[in-house]
Amino acid sequence: MAISFDKVTYTYQPNTPFKSRALFDIDLDVADGSFTALVGHTGSGKSTLLQHLNALLLPTSGTVTVDETVIKPTSKGKEIKPVRQKVGVVFQFPETQLFDETVLKDVAFGPQNFGVSKEDAQAIAREKLNLVGISDELFERSPFELSGGQMRRVAIAGILAMNPSVLVLDEPTAGLDPKARIDMMRLFETIHASGVTTILVTHLMDDVADYADTMYVLEKGRIVKSGKPQDLFQDVAFMTAHQLGVPKATRFALLLRERGQYFEHLPITRAALVEMIKEAANHG
């Protein structure tokens, strides 16, 4: 399912002394089935933009089109609700949204809000909990008894249970240990492979390089660059100047290049780097 932004601007608290403009003329296209990364420095407007994706914020001007639904500054609640189901958002630290008595009920909460019967919702919940790696014996526990990592998985299952066709992830791995981070990113990759359009908001360039096929760079509420990660990371000076940096593999390749190793393109993933070094070694 495709999403497109057409000249979207957003101002917080207009007409008050506290007003601040967060987005300026955003044009953005998320193709069906793509893995899009939104990157930018803290305060660049990433989170504001993300809240437009499922109409938690309505644009001050411009339009957001999600599938056939056009979200305008004047859109009403009823027109928006279907968008909420199609676009599932995993907010930062999603474990804070858990509230129900048991893990299972909490996960079933989402689908039930969209009219799925209790039994069906719980069946979906079981399936999604297994998918994120929560075993059956935890289903009847209180979500507050779980460890931090498990709570996050349950929260993510709660989003997946709505069967969204677009999954938006706002720094999903923040505060996780390295292994949990890799596991979680692999999980999202699997979900993406099953045909879910994925939008990842992050400031980890390694994740962008490893998983995304399109990226947008935001700065001070504007999109300053967009394209394929392979192309964007070639311009190391630009990425460093915007305080984003480049993936580790790219940085390493750059150091090698400074010492006289020739690369046609800078690699952005570790696998690509290894490949290029091997090739260089074979050619002597």
- Residue ranges binding another protein (CB under 8 A): 12-13, 16-18, 51, 54, 56, 77, 81, 84-85, 87-89, 91, 94, 96-100, 109-111, 113-114, 144, 158-159, 162
123-157-54-195 Cα dihedral, nearest 10 degrees:
-80
Q: Which is nearer to another protein, 121 or 208 (CB)?
A: 121
Decide the pairing of beta strands 197-202 and 35-40: parallel
Q: Which is nearer to another protein, 94 or 172 (CB)?
A: 94
Q: Which is nearer to another protein, 56 or 180 (CB)?
A: 56
**3-state class of 223 per DSSP?**
strand
- Burial (Cβ within 10 Å: 0-12, 13-18, ≥19) of residue 241: exposed
Minimum separation from the CB atom of position 99 to another protein (A): 4
Q: Which is nearer to another protein, 97 or 234 (CB)?
A: 97
Minimum separation from the CB atom of position 44 to another protein (A): 18
Q: Which is nearer to another protein, 81 or 257 (CB)?
A: 81
Minimum separation from the CB atom of position 54 to another protein (A): 5
Comparing C-alpha atoms, which of 69, 73, 47 is closest to residue 58?
73
Minimum separation from the CB atom of position 215 to another protein (A): 23
List Cα–Cα distances, 79 to 9, 69, 76, 146, 152, in angstroms: 20, 8, 6, 37, 30
Contact present, 103 and 154 (Cβ < 8 Å)? yes
Which residue matches tokens 């008050």?
Answer: 16
Minimum separation from the CB atom of position 78 to another protein (A): 10
